[in-house]
């Protein structure tokens, strides 16, 4: 039996998916009829319940993939799961992490970050447009993760409100404009990431990073090709999720860090002094 308030995924025979907290006495109205969340709690994970019209539904534990792909109501393009996994690894996002995100949009990445940081972590997300901030907050609340996120209706052209974040990610149109504010917002040596749709934007960002206190700069894109799951006719699907954006990563320069060229120059000066 499920605990009261647990988030469940109810899936119909036609693959309609509904997310809802299994609150005692709660019901879900669908085109297939009314579903009782008490029945879902009693059935447990992997169980089946029926609507008042007799339509069977599976009771499933939602994965993060389910939440991002199906649980987020969209009014903007979201970051795809294929990018989210790499972003989380590169930025070191995990339990207890404090991460800044700007450009939350519909909240796809925000949802994933809130999942990863756990109860002891915190996500600080910034958005200039109130309608997107409201949508992000509603999506987070619908999957039970809103309490892990602090939402700021704030223009990051005025800087960030945090000073000790463990990582930072920007999904904004002109991230190079905000690069000067990054070192003051994160801990020394923290990883930072960016998502951009075009190569000319990536070039503008690289110029800003190369002129600032950043190291380990990386540019990449992630392609995903699925296969038709038919044992006797295994082959790629006719369509694939190819280019969806360019990812750029870097690290802020730790205090007293010197490039190999600077270190070599200092060594030469020391050697000359002994001659």
Domains of the chain: 7-62 (3.10.330.20), 65-260 (3.40.50.150)
CB 114 within 8 A of CB 141: no
Burial of 219: CB neighbours in 10 Å, binned 0-12, 13-18, 19+: middle
Q: Is 251 exposed, middle or buried (0-12, 13-18, 19+ CB in 10 A)?
A: buried
> In 3D, which of 262, 88, 253, 248 has the Cα closest to residue 184?
253
Number of residues that this document lists for the chain: 275
At 270, the pLDDT band (50, 70, 90 cuts) reads very low
What's residue 267's pLDDT?
47
Confidence tier at 127 by pLDDT (50, 70, 90): very high
- For 62, 95, 159, 273, the CA distances from 168, given in Å and listed in that order, are 27, 16, 13, 43
Percent of the chain past pLDDT 70, that is, above it, reads: 92
Segment 44-60 shows an average pLDDT of 97
Residue 56 structure tokens: 């069977």
Instruction: Enumerate the β-bridge partners of residue 122.
Output: 98
Q: What is the mean pLDDT of residues 257-272?
A: 54
Contact 111, 139 (CB under 8 A): yes
* Residue 111 and residue 140 in contact, taking contact as beta carbons nearer than 8 Å: yes
pTM, to two decimals: 0.86
pLDDT at 90: 97
């Amino acid at each position: 039996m499920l605990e009261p308030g647990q988030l469940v995924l109810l899936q119909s025979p036609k693959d309609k998916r509904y997310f809802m907290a299994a609150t005692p006495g709660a019901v879900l109205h669908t085109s297939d009829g009314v579903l009782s969340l008490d029945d879902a709690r009693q059935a447990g994970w992997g169980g089946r319940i029926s609507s008042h019209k007799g339509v069977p539904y599976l009771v499933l534990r939602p994965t993060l993939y389910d939440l991002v792909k199906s649980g987020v109501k969209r009014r903007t393009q979201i970051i795809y799961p294929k990018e989210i996994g790499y972003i989380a690894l590169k930025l070191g996002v995990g339990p207890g992490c404090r991460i800044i995100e700007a450009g939350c949009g519909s909240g796809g990445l925000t949802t994933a970050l809130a999942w990863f940081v756990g109860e002891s972590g915190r996500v600080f997300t910034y958005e200039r447009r109130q309608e997107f901030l409201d949508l992000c907050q509603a999506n987070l609340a619908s999957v039970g993760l809103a309490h892990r996120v602090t939402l700021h209706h704030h223009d990051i052209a005025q800087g960030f409100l945090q000073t000790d974040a463990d990582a930072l990610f920007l999904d904004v149109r002109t991230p190079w404009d905000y690069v000067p504010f990054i070192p003051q917002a994160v801990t020394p040596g923290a990883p930072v990431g960016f998502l951009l749709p075009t190569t000319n934007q990536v070039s503008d960002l690289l110029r800003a990073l190369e002129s600032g206190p950043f190291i380990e700069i990386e540019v990449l894109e992630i392609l995903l090709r699925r296969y038709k799951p038919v044992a006797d006719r295994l082959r790629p699907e006719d369509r694939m999720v190819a280019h969806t954006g360019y990812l750029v990563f870097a690290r802020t320069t730790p205090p007293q860090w010197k490039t190999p060229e600077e270190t070599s120059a200092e060594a030469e000066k020391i050697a000359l002094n002994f001659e």
